[in-house]
Chain A
Amino acid sequence: MTATTDWDPSKPILEIENLSISFFTRLREIPAVMDFSCTVMPGEAMGLVGESGCGKSTVALAVMRYLGKNGRITGGSIRFKGRDLTTMDDEALRQIRGSGIAMIYQEPMASLNPAMRIGAQLAEVPMIHEGIGREAAWKLARQIVADVRLPDPDRILKAYPHQLSGGQQQRIVIAMALMSKPALLILDEPTTALDVTVEAGIVDLVKDLGHKYGTSILFISHNLGLILEVCDRLCVMYSGEAVETGAVARVFDRMRHPYTQALFRSIPLPGADKNTHPLVSIPGNFPLPHERPPGCNFGPRCAYFQAGRCDAQEVPMVLLPGGDRHETRCLRSAEIDWDKPPVAARAVARTPVGEVVLKMTDLRKYYEVSGGLFGGSLKKVVKANETLSFEARAGETLAIVGESGCGKSTFAKVLMGLETATSGRIMLFDQDIQDIPIEKRGTDTVSSVQMVFQNPFDTLNPSMTVGRQIIRALEIFGEGANDAERRDRMLELLDLVKLPRAFADRMPRQLSGGQKQRVGIARAFAGGAKIVVADEPVSALDVSVQAAVTDLLMEIQRKNRTTLLFISHDLSIVRYLSDRVMVMYLGHVVELGTTDQVFSPPYHPYTEALLSAVPIADTRVTKKRIVLEGDIPSAMNPPPGCPFQTRCRWKSQVPGNLCETVMPPIRLLAGDHQIKCHLSDDVLAGMEPVIRIAAQ
C-alpha cells in the first residue's frame, strides 16, 4: 500500500525485462524461459499464448516469485509498479501477493481448500492485507460474491468447495483474487477445465470486472480465440522465448513471425474444410528445453528457414515499423511475403457415403447408483442416455457434440459393449448387439468397432513397448499367421500413422502426446476397424499437433472407408471435419443434421448457445453473445419437460408451460434435419445466425 505512492500511473504496471528462468534437476539445468520481455500497462489485458511447455506458467509463477524448490530466476528483472520483484525479501513479497498481484489457475477445485468454508477463504485476504475485522471482511466477501454473479451469496459463503459446481468454484477463485482489489490479475488457463458454455460466462466476467476495477490482466491461454476475446495485446511464446508481441488485432491480421502464422494455419477457423481447405500442421516436434537448436528455436520447423543464417546466430527481438509496439523474433520478417496463401494443399474429393453400418433405435442407458456413503438403501437412477436414435453410414464422419456429462462417453461404452443397453436396439451391420457384452462378441465384431481415447498420457500401457502393444492387438484380432508376419504388419501400421519404425521398441514415456495418440490410432486400426469411435481424440493435444492428428484420422478414414464417430465438445473442429453432427444435452439428442444444417439457423436453442460460446480466433467474425445462466442439471434429477428448459432463452416463445411439462418430440425439418424443441416453425425460421463473417 505504501509503495504505490511514488509510482506514476502512466508507467507500466508490470515490466519484465530479459527474464531467464531455469529449473535445476539432478541431471541438468533446464532453461525453461530465456530472455523474455513483456510490459503490461495499467488497465491493459495482456495475453500470453503458446503450446504447453513453452514456459507460460513459469513466467506467471516467476512474477509471483513462486518457482518451487528447484526453480530459479537466472537473469533479468521483473518490476511491479517500479519495484524489482526478483530481489524483494519474503515479507515484502507476502504483502504484494494477494493485494498487489493475484493469481488464478486452471483447476478451480484444487485451488480451494476442501476443509474450509468459502467465506473464510475469501475473508482471509482483506484480513491479512488490510487488517480489517472479521465482520467487515465477511461483508466484503458477500459483496464480491454477488459481483461475480453467483446466486444466493449467503448460502455460498457458508458452503464447502465441493458443494459447488466447477463453474461456481472458478467464480469463487476469481472473487478471492479480487478481494483486495489487486492492480494486476494473472490468469493461467482459467477455463481449460470447464465446459465451453461455462467458459463463456467466466470470460465475460473477467472482462467486465477488469474494466470495473481497472485491473490489469495477464491472461495465459493456449487458445487464440479466447485471447482475442479478452486481451488488448498479446505475446506469443515458443520454447521459452517471446517470438512475437503486439496489439491483438494487429498480430492476428498482420502477423510477422512464421510460428504465429503456422499456428493460425493449423487451427480450424470458419471457412476451413477438410476436403477443399485442409489445415496445415506444423511439422516436427517442440524441442525440449535442454535440446534447443542453435540459432532460431523455431528453425527446424520453419517453412522459411535459411541454413547458415537462421541457425548461425541468436535471433534478437526487433521492433517492427508502423508503431504500436509490434515486435518479432525473426530475421526474415521483412523478406517474407506474408500474404501468400499456404502452399495449396491437395484438395481431395469428398468421400462418397455408403450403406448404413450402424443403426441405433431408442437406445436407453440408465445407471443405478447408491446414494453416497450413508444412504445405502436409496438407489438413484442416472439417466445417461435417453432415446438415442440415429444411423451412421460407411465412410461418414458423424460428430457427437455436447458438454461434459451429457452422455457422450456412455453412448460409446454401450456401443463398444463395455456396458449393455437398458433398452433399445443397436444394429451393427446386420446384427443386434445391444445386449451382447464385449466378452461374448465375436472377434470380427470386436475388431470392426474400435476406439481412440482422449488422454494421450493414459491411452498406452506405460510398461509395454509401443510395438508390443500393437502386436498384442493383432494377436487378439487374429491377424497374421505367425510372429514375423505380425511384426511386419505392426511396422506397416506405424508407417500408416506416420511414425518412424524405430518407435516400435520405445516405451510410451519416450513419446510426445501427439505421437502417443498416433500409436493409439494404429492400435485401433490393427484389426481393420470399420467403425471407429474417437472420444475427444485431440482435445488434450496442442493446436499445432491437433491438425496433424485429425488429418491422419481423415486420411485413414478415406483409405478404409471407415465410419468415424467423432465425440467432441470443440465445435470448431467438428465443423471442420464432420459430415453430420448430433448435439446431445442431458442424455437426449436435441439436434441432428448435416454440418451445414446444424451450423446455420434454424438452431436448437442449445446449439445456438454452444455456437455462441465457442471462441473463434478470427478478427472478421462477429458473434452474438448468448450466455447461458446456471449449470447443467444433474442427470440424477433432470428437470421435467424439456431437458434444456432451465437455461433456455427461447422458452418464452413457446405458449403455455409446454417446455416445463412436456418433453418435446423430435421434429423433422427440411432435409432430414431433426430438432427436439417445442418452438414453432415461424420462430425457428426467424432465427438469426450466431456467427457472421465480415466481408473480406
Chain B
Amino acid sequence: MDALSWGQIFGRIAWQFWPVWAALILTFAVSVSFKRRLGLYGKLYDSPVGMVGFGLVMFWVFTALFAPVIMTHDPLTQVSGMKNALPGFPQKGAEGAYYLLGGDNLARDVFSRMVAGSVLVIQIAPMATIFAFMVGITLGLPAGYYGGKLDTGLSFLANQILAFPVILLFYLLVTPEIVASGLPQYIGVVLFLFPLIFLIVLINSRLYVKPALRNLLVGLVVVIGGWLYLSLLSSPDTRIDLLPPQADALEIPGNILIVFVSVVFVNAPTVFRIIRGLVLDIKTRDYVAASQTRGEGPWYIMLWEILPNARGPLIVDFCLRIGYTTILLGTLGFFGLGLSPESPDWGSTINAGRRLLSIFVHPALVPALALMSLVLGLNLLADGLREESLKD
C-alpha cells in the first residue's frame, strides 16, 4: 500500500467527520429558519463572525460527541512500525488502515488522539467555567452589593490569587506532593459547595413567600445536589472517601478532579471581579431601589433584580472564559501536570511532540491547531455575541 497524498488525506479526514457535518448542517438549518424567535442566539446568525465562531465551537462539540465513530484507531494503542509515521502512512498488515495524520513517537495515531483529546476538553472546560461562575457570582454579588469590609476582604483575597502567576499556582497545587496532602481536594470541598449554596439561595430568596413550594424545591436541591456533590468529591483511596462505591454516581479519576479544581480556582477570582464591577453599576438603578423600598431581602435583589440584568456581559465573558479554560488545560498538559502522560489531551500531546519538533512537526502541530481552532471559535463567538447584544 502506498502512502496517501495530501488530497486523499483531507478527503478521508472529511469523510471520517461525516456525523459532525450532518449535525452542523442540521443545527444551522434549524436555527437560521427560526432565528427571529430565538432571541440573542438567533441574532448570532446575523453576524458572520459570530456564525463562524459558533460553527467552530459546535464542530468540536459534535466531534467530542461522536468521537467513537470518528476515531480510526484506539488513541492509546501503539502500533509497531508506525513510530513517527508521516501523515497518510498506511498501517502494515491492516488493509485500508492509515494513520491519517501520522503517528507520534510512541507510534499512536495522531488523528485519533486529537479526536479523543476533544472529548476531555469539551467535558472539562465548560463545566469548570460554570463552576467558576457559580463561585464568582456567589461571592461577587454580596461584595459588590454590600461593599464595605466584606468587599475589601473578598477583593483582597481575589487579588491575592490573581497576583500569582498561573503556572506557579499550578505547580503549587498539582504537584504530587501536594496532591498527596489532599489540599486540592479540600479546595474542591469548598468550591463545589458554591453551586449548591447558589441554587438554594436562588430558590429561597424568591419563594420564601410561598413556603410549601420553597421547601419542596430546596429539599430536592439538597438531596440531589448533595448526592452529586458527594459523589463528585469522593474518590476511593484518597483523603476524601465519603461514599461507598455503589452509591458513587460519578466515577471521576482523581487526577482529573484535581485538574478541574485548580482550573476553577484560577478562574473564580476573575469572574468575581467582573461580577462585582457589574453589580456596582447595576445597583444604582431605580428598579433596585424600588425593590429595596418594598422590603425585598438582599439576596432576592442580588439574584433576581441585578444578576439577570448583567447577563449580557456575562454570557460574552462565559464564552471567552471557556476558551481561557481550554488554554489553561493545555498549559497543565504542556507542563505534564495533573493529567497522566499517555492521556490524549491536547496539552499533553503538544508537550510530548515538542521534543522532536524540528524533525517531526505533525505530532505537536495537529493538537496545537485543534486547540487554537476551538479557542478561536469561542473568541469569535464571544465577539459576535457582544456585537449583536449591543445592536438593536
Give the B-binding residues of A (Cβ under 8 A): 26, 416-418, 438-439, 441, 443, 446-447, 449-451, 453-455, 458-464, 473, 475-478, 520, 523, 527
Contacts and interface: CB of A to CB of B under 8 A. Distances in A.
A438 B294 CA distance: 8
A441 B295 contact: yes
Given A454-B286, A461-B287, A476-B209, A438 B293 contact: yes
Given A26-B391, A463-B308, A464-B308, A476 B296 contact: yes
Contact of B286 (A416, A439, A453, A478): A453
Nearest to B306: A461
A438 B295 contact: yes
Given A451-B290, A458-B286, A461-B305, 13 more contacts: A418-B289, A418-B293, A446-B294, A453-B286, A454-B286, A459-B286, A461-B304, A461-B308, A463-B311, A473-B294, A475-B209, A520-B290, A523-B294
Interface of B: 46, 209-210, 285-287, 289-297, 304-305, 308-309, 311, 391
A682 B86 CA distance: 108
A447 B290 CA distance: 12
The 7 closest A-B pairs by CB, nearest first: A463-B308, A453-B286, A458-B286, A446-B295, A475-B209, A461-B287, A459-B286
Nearest to A418: B292
A438 B295 CA distance: 6
Contacts of A461: 287, 291, 304-305, 308-309
B290 A523 contact: yes
24 contacts: A416-B292, A439-B297, A443-B295, A446-B294, A446-B295, A447-B294, A447-B295, A451-B289, A453-B286, A458-B286, A459-B286, A459-B290, A461-B287, A461-B291, A461-B304, A461-B305, A461-B308, A463-B309, A464-B304, A475-B209, A476-B209, A476-B294, A476-B295, A527-B294
A441 B294 CA distance: 10
Nearest to B310: A463
Nearest to B295: A446
A459 B287 contact: yes
A123 to B, nearest CB: 36
A451 B294 CA distance: 9
Given A26-B391, A463-B308, A476-B209, A458 B287 contact: yes
A449 B293 CA distance: 8
Contacts of B292: 416, 418, 438
B293 A451 contact: yes
A330 B18 CA distance: 67
Nearest to A442: B295
A453 B308 CA distance: 21
A235 to B, nearest CB: 30
B376 to A, nearest CB: 25
A458 B311 contact: no
Contact of B309 (A26, A462, A527): A462
User: Most chain-A CB neighbours within 10 Å: which of B286, B292, B308?
Assistant: B286
A418 B286 CA distance: 13
A451 B293 CA distance: 7
Contacts of B46: 26
A497 to B, nearest CB: 15
A439 B295 contact: yes
Contacts of B285: 458
A461 B300 CA distance: 13
Nearest to B305: A461
Contacts of A476: 209, 294-296
Nearest to B206: A472
Contacts of A453: 286, 289-290
Nearest to B288: A461
A503 to B, nearest CB: 17
Contacts of B287: 458-462
Nearest to A457: B286
Contacts of A478: 209
B207 to A, nearest CB: 9
Nearest to A473: B294
Nearest to B210: A475
User: Most chain-B CB neighbours within 10 Å: which of A463, A464, A473, A527?
Assistant: A463
A416 B292 CA distance: 9
Nearest to B311: A463
Contacts of A464: 304, 308
B310 to A, nearest CB: 10
A417 B293 CA distance: 8
A418 B283 CA distance: 13
A416 to B, nearest CB: 5
Nearest to A449: B293
A572 B187 CA distance: 63
A417 to B, nearest CB: 8
A447 B309 CA distance: 25
Nearest to A450: B293
A343 to B, nearest CB: 36
A460 B289 CA distance: 10
Given A26-B391, A458-B285, A458-B287, A416 B308 contact: no
Nearest to A478: B209
A527 B292 CA distance: 15
A463 B290 CA distance: 15
Contacts of B294: 446-447, 450, 473, 476-477, 523, 527
A439 B298 CA distance: 9
B42 to A, nearest CB: 12
A118 B210 CA distance: 59
Contacts of B209: 475-476, 478
User: Most chain-A CB neighbours within 10 Å: which of B46, B290, B305, B309?
Assistant: B290
A443 B311 CA distance: 31
Contacts of B295: 438-439, 441, 443, 446-447, 476
User: Most chain-B CB neighbours within 10 Å: which of A418, A450, A453?
Assistant: A453
Nearest to B36: A27
Nearest to B209: A475
Contacts of B297: 439
A449 B295 CA distance: 11
Nearest to A526: B294
Nearest to A508: B287
Contacts of B291: 461
Nearest to A533: B293
Contacts of A454: 286
